[in-house]
Amino acid sequence: MSFPAERPRRLRQSPAWRRLARETELTAGDLILPLFVIAGRNRAVPVPSMPGVSQLSVDRIVAEAEAAAKAGVPGVLLFGVLEQKDATGSAAADPDGVVPQAIRAIKSRLPDLLVWADVCLCGATDHGHCGLVSEAGVVHNDESLPVLARVAATYAAAGADAVAPSDMMDGRVAAIRRELDARELSHVPIVSYAAKYASAFYGPFREAADSAPAFGDRRGYQMDPANANEAVREALLDVEEGADIVMVKPASAYLDVVRRVRDAVRCPVAAYHVSGEYSMIKAAAKAGWIDERAVALEVLTGIRRAGADVIVTYYAQDAALWLRENGR
Ligand code: PBG
């Protein structure tokens, strides 16, 4: 059967039909808002390459988290912007550091809002790499695992609802799971950045988090953008090691990877709409070349359609409000 018997437009002829025939729903409940925490009081330092995003002191983070919660966003993802850096990233595991402080402050004010904490060493190491580095400048895998596990346990002990390792060392999910379980934190889920690509889309984030590597690049641990089978392998390994949610990052240029990971695992899949993806929309909108709201919602819907159950995005709060205005 084909035209004229087949007329797909029949189901597109009115808002009600379109609503009924819609295959993918983007809702505020799918979104997680990343936030950057800095030291001090009443401080908001705008990130020039990410209009609308600021580094915020703990008191200001609570206000921002509250606004996101009011908009219907179910959770936030915290990144610490750390002043003290050393070779082993020891500031990341400080129980009184800005991230544990922010976790405690948000959870005491907003107990129902999910607080995820990014676990990595790049913001706390003087060399800016995501793991420990040898004299020869090699990123050590196995030596980094106990350090990452300690950072994760610090955040979980502070009350984080989930820890999210983004370092891409092999075996870190298992190491973190063991450490959490040993410290009676077995109820805390691990959101693993399972397929994290060595992407040029992280440029604005590295400015926001002050985490650019001082030498070399991250291609020795983050994935080659040309690979997709390997992403499925990474996701399956992380699930086996105890990951509760697996993440693909970035999102828009990796929609096929989101779909393949979605089809390969049985746990929720998250996709991270990263800084560069956000900044590109902002820049084009500012130039008057695109409609920001329509493009942002279209991209986020595309990421959901590709198979993401959860989207981490700097647009979380705006998108939640726009969706509400659109009656969704
Ligand atoms: C740190 C980390 C990065 C991002 C999240 N965690 C940057 C990187 O790996 O260099 C990127 C997030 C974004 O671009 O929005 N390991």
- Tell me the per-residue pLDDT of 283-312, one tens digit each, with 9 for 90 and over: 999 999 999 999 999 999 999 999 999 999
State the average pLDDT over residues 259-266: 98
Question: What number does the ligand 1 atom closest to the CA of 120 have?
Answer: 16
What is the Rg, in whole angstroms, of the alpha carbon atoms belonging to the chain?
Answer: 20
- In DSSP terms, 311 is beta-bridged to 31, 271
When the pLDDT of each residue in the chain is averaged and rounded to a whole number, the result is 97
pLDDT of 323 higher than 80: yes
pLDDT at 207: 86
**Positions marked active-site:** 196, 249
Q: In which band, very low, low, confident or very high, does the pLDDT at 171 lie, cut at 50, 70 and 90?
A: very high
Residue 1: pLDDT over 90:
no
Give the pLDDT score at 175. Answer: 98
Question: pLDDT value at position 137?
Answer: 87
309 secondary structure, DSSP code: S
Q: Is the pLDDT of residue 328 over 80?
A: no
The stretch 99-116 carries a mean pLDDT of: 98
Q: Rounded to the nearest whole angstrom, what is the distance from the C-alpha of residue 204 to the centroid of ligand 1? A: 9
CA 129 to ligand 1 center in whole angstroms? 11
Please write the tens of the pLDDT for every residue from 191-230: 999 999 999 999 999 988 888 899 999 999 999 999 999 9
**DSSP letter for each residue of 134-157:** -TTSPEESTTHHHHHHHHHHHHHH
The stretch 49-74 carries a mean pLDDT of: 98
Residue type, 187: H
Tokens encoding 104: 């405690």
234 pLDDT higher than 80: yes
| pLDDT over 80 at 320, yes or no | yes
User: Domain-by-domain residue ranges, the chain?
Assistant: 27-325
Mutate to test the pocket of ligand 1, among 202, 252, 315 (most ligand atoms within 8 A of CB): 202
Closest residue to atom 6 of ligand 1, CA basis: 166
Rounded mean pLDDT of 10-34?
Answer: 97
The mean per-residue pLDDT over the stretch 81-98 comes to: 95
How are beta strands 54-57 and 132-133 bridged, if at all? unpaired
pLDDT given for residue 150 in this prediction? 98
Peptide bond into 213 cis (omega under 30): no
Select 27-325's CATH number: 4.10.490.10, 3.20.20.70, 3.40.50.10900, 3.90.1150.10. 3.20.20.70
Mean pLDDT of 245-255: 98
How many angstroms does the Cα of residue 222 sit away from the middle of ligand 1?
11
What are the tokens at 253? 């240029």
- Residues linked to residue 313 through DSSP beta bridges, in sequence order: 273
Please give the Cα distance from 18 to 306 (Å, whole number).
19
How high is the pLDDT of residue 136?
84
The DSSP element (H or E) to which 35 belongs, if any, is strand 31-38
Q: Is the pLDDT of residue 39 over 90?
A: yes
Residue with CA nearest ligand 1 atom 2: 166
- Tell me the whole-structure pTM to 2 decimals: 0.97
Averaged over 82-101, what is the pLDDT? Answer: 95
- Could you give the CA distance from residue 328 to residue 203 in angstroms, rounded to a whole number? 33
The pLDDT confidence band at residue 144, using thresholds 50, 70 and 90, is: very high
pLDDT (mean) for 26-52 = 98
